[in-house]
């Protein structure tokens, strides 16, 4: 990537997988448009923060969630219009209230095994859930999809087509050069601390990206 903005090695290391995942989800799977309501469900991690920034740059109205106060501050500083605590069961009600009960057009879901069943009633008609992360199985009510003519899709980045990869790289370079994308390297560890990095990845309350330094 051409770094036309100020950034060091650690920030540059955050671009590849996290930012590409966010772009692929928003543009190729969700088909985000200006004016769409986008819920980034679990927005304080590396992918989530990139998704907030990219969605705003594409003209969307963004709701981001995080379970810690520090995480919510980070999501807010990344441009989210509304930030909610997803550890509070009332946040699903707050999502609907924010959209005048119309629901959100797009949900980027980082923990589908916990949230997917409750996500669906928050969708607008013809809304979409894009599953980015899941750590187990989940039960949903298909009628929640049927009533809204809604859909759920999921992906892993290696399945992107060559044409999509070109679009991802082009889109990220543009977002970086225009200052719309600012990857967050919140934790930097020595390569010798890789075991600790894996523990942090799996822990609740993620904050930005974890970078291993040589």
Residue whose token pair is 């390569």: 191
Q: What is the pLDDT of residue 70?
A: 96
Does residue 3 register a pLDDT over 90?
no
Instruction: Give the residues across from 129 on adjacent strands.
Output: 107, 152
Per-residue confidence (pLDDT) for residue 150, from 0 to 100? 98
User: What is the pLDDT of the chain when averaged over all its residues?
Assistant: 95
pLDDT at 194 over 60: yes
Considering 58-62, 183-187, 210-214, the range whose residues carry the highest mean pLDDT is 58-62
CB-based contacts of 34, cutoff 8 Å, min separation 6: 58, 59, 60
Q: What does the pLDDT read at residue 41?
A: 98
Give the per-residue pLDDT at 109. Answer: 98
pLDDT digits (tens, 9 = 90+) for 63-99: 999 999 999 999 999 999 999 999 999 999 999 999 9
pLDDT of residue 60: 98
pTM of this structure: 0.94
Q: What is the pLDDT of residue 7?
A: 65
In whole angstroms, give the CA distance from residue 143 to residue 132: 22
Measured CA distances, 96 to 15, 73, 104, 118 (Å): 32, 22, 8, 12
CB count within 10 Å of CB 40 equals 34
Alpha carbons within 13 A on the beta-carbon side of 17: 11
SS3 63: strand
Q: Could you report the per-residue pLDDT of 7-54, keeping only the tens digit for each?
A: 688 889 999 999 999 999 999 999 999 999 999 999 999 999 999 999
Q: What is the pLDDT of residue 9?
A: 87
**d(Cα 62, Cα 76) in Å, to the nearest integer?**
10
Residue 165: pLDDT band (50, 70, 90) is: very high
């Amino acid at each position: 990537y051409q770094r036309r903005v100020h950034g060091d090695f650690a920030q540059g290391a955050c671009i590849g997988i996290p930012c590409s995942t966010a772009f692929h989800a928003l543009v190729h799977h969700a088909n985000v448009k200006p004016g769409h309501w986008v819920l980034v469900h679990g927005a304080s991690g590396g992918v989530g923060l990139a998704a907030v920034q990219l969605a705003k740059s594409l003209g969307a109205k963004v709701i981001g969630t995080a379970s810690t106060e520090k995480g919510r501050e980070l999501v807010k500083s990344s441009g989210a219009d509304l930030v909610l605590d997803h550890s509070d069961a009332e946040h699903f009600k707050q999502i609907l209230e924010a959209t005048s009960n119309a629901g959100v057009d797009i949900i980027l879901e980082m923990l589908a095994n916990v949230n997917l069943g409750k996500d669906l009633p928050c969708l607008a008609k013809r809304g979409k859930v894009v599953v980015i992360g899941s750590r187990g199985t989940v039960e949903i009510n298909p009628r929640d999809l049927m009533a809204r003519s809604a859909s759920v899709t999921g992906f892993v980045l290696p399945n992107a087509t060559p044409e999509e990869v070109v679009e991802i790289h082009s889109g990220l370079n543009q977002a970086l050069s225009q200052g719309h994308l600012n990857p967050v390297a919140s934790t930097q560890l020595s390569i010798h601390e890789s075991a600790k990095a894996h523990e942090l990845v799996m822990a609740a309350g993620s904050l930005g990206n974890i970078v291993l330094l040589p």
